[in-house]
Amino acid sequence: MMYAQQLLHKVRHFFVPPFCRFCKRFLSDDLVFCVHCFDLIEPLVTTMVQITRTVDMKVFSIGAYHFPLKLLILAKSWSDRTAARQLGMLSWSMTDLKFHQFDVIVPVPLYWSRRSQRGFNQAEIMARTISLLSSKPVLNLVKRRKATPFQSLLPAAQRQLNVEDAFQLNEQYISECAGKNILFVDDLMTTGATLHAMGKIVLPLNPASLSAMVGARVI
């Protein structure tokens, strides 16, 4: 079985060789970026989003919202699921998330009309990739109850108001998430307003901790 998998891997590489997502240079291994483009990623230390006076959320990110990471995040606009999976892989390999304690993974949801238009939720694909690497379950604990304008198109002062009352708990998963260490996943963090709203909506479940993994942060 292992020999067959290795043979299939070699055949796939022969017909569809891996290439750097940014500069398009061919690669010898299944990597997202070449060494040069990896060096262009600006790493960031973890930050905190304050949910209440006593509850904070630690936020991990692969790096700053610049190229080449920006390319993977913008790829959702042309329905590129591979880019979302690569963001999940980089989230695990390039951050301290793998050393962090979490019990369940909750993707930031899209409203049904936007998900239908795009065909998928990039945050959910990221979450499922992290789930495969961590063996932690993905649970759609939070639902989006109304459509909202893109956060990136709004002034910073309006973003908190934009997502106010935008989310609600999915009763199907409440018992599985109560008292757990919850990890939220999203592709991009701008001011943190979305993660703040997500954190507030799950507070009635008395989570042991709240944290988040984002593909990139605007700095």
CA–CA separation, 199 and 174 (whole Å) = 14
Tens of pLDDT, residue by residue over 12-69, are 444 457 889 899 887 766 788 999 999 999 999 999 999 999 999 999 999 999 999 9
Does CATH number 3.30.450 belong to domain 43-217? no
pLDDT value at position 138?
Answer: 98
Answer whether 82's CB lies under 8 Å from 72's CB: no
Cite the beta strand spans of the chain per DSSP E: 47-50, 56-64, 104-107, 142-144, 167-169, 181-189, 209-217
CA quadruple 20, 35, 92, 47: dihedral sign: negative
Record the tokens describing residue 76, joined without a space.
């959702």
Q: Could you tell me where in the chain the CATH 3.40.50 domains are found?
A: 43-217
Please give the pLDDT value at position 205: 98
Cβ proximity of 94 and 62 under 8 Å:
yes
Q: Enumerate residue ranges in the chain where pLDDT < 70.
A: 1-16, 28-29, 147-162
